[in-house]
Amino acid sequence: MKVAVTGGAGFIGSHLTDYLLKEGYEVHILDNYSSGHYFPEHPNVVLHEVDIRSERAQAIIEAEKPAFVFHLAAQADVTRSINNPCEDADININGTINILEGCRKANVKKIIFSSTSAVYGNLQKETIEEHDRTSPISYYGLSKLSAEQYIQLYQVLYGLDFTILRYGNVYGPRQTAKGEGGVIAVFMDRIKEGSCLKIHGDGKQTRDFVFVEDVVKANIAATTSGSNDIFHVSTNKPTSINQLAEILLELHPDSLETIHVTSRTGDIKHSCLLNEKCCEQLGWKPEYSISEGLQKTYHYYNN
């Protein structure tokens, strides 16, 4: 079976590509290689160096006619979105519309869209559910929410099936500390350098950290289940940034200092996503605890 993965050279996309190739799929990667640099040498992979906003990207999907399109390519940096909202909207909204047009013309079975918990903003809830109010506090969250709404409207107007997956904070091997990188990738770089760990604010802010291999399996599950719906891909367990630093420093043999710096604009205070719907309807569940995932990630970066 033929599939397309936008952003297939990036962090999550490269892990998804590996899994798809292992399962015997023909994989077409659409990536401009601005942040991802994954070049798998495999007879069943075709690399297309292309921007998702371009006519060529749309034409590739139309010509190749993949059964599924996994749309992961995005501008995923919150700070960058605030500094340059036009670029953020262009990539995340216009880029998604362009991919949707390719899917429509190619009669793609389903588009599986990688979204984010950032669409909720700072909801004052201990655990967030899929039907909760969306109120982004960054242009990144807003552009991803807009992309979701375009996808849903394409289903209404053209019958294009979709599954939207709203991720918690994804982490794991291959993640970079720039662009799509989260706090774990940043901490890993600091540990490797032997530098102090910088924590923004008081460090009591919490996130729902989900391991990349679990995210990949949720994407695969969405090929056969969950049509025209939204699901949380998460652990349903909050971890504070302070706790995160403690776990990593326990794994590291050398003593490192932690220091607190000013909070960042657009950062969410607390985020924990209920994953019950995804577990029940997609038949998926996270396999890695935060300790297990961090251990695997730490060994990758230090070997």
Strands 169-171 and 45-49: unpaired
* CA distance linking residue 28 with residue 89, whole number of Å: 25
Which amino acid belongs to residue 107?
Answer: N
Please say whether the beta carbons of 69 and 109 come within 8 A: no
Residue tagged 């994804």 (tokens): 170
Report the length, in residues, of the chain. Answer: 303
Task: Label the pairing between strands 110-116 and 68-71.
Answer: parallel
* Signed CA dihedral, 25, 158, 105, 8: sign only: negative
Report the C-alpha gap between 3 and 26 in whole angstroms.
Answer: 6
Question: Any bridge partners for residue 4, and if so which?
Answer: 28, 69
Instruction: Give the pairing of strands 45-49 and 26-31.
Output: parallel
Assess whether 139 carries a catalytic annotation: no
Catalytic residue, candidates 25, 38, 120, 140: 140
Residues acting as catalytic residues: 140
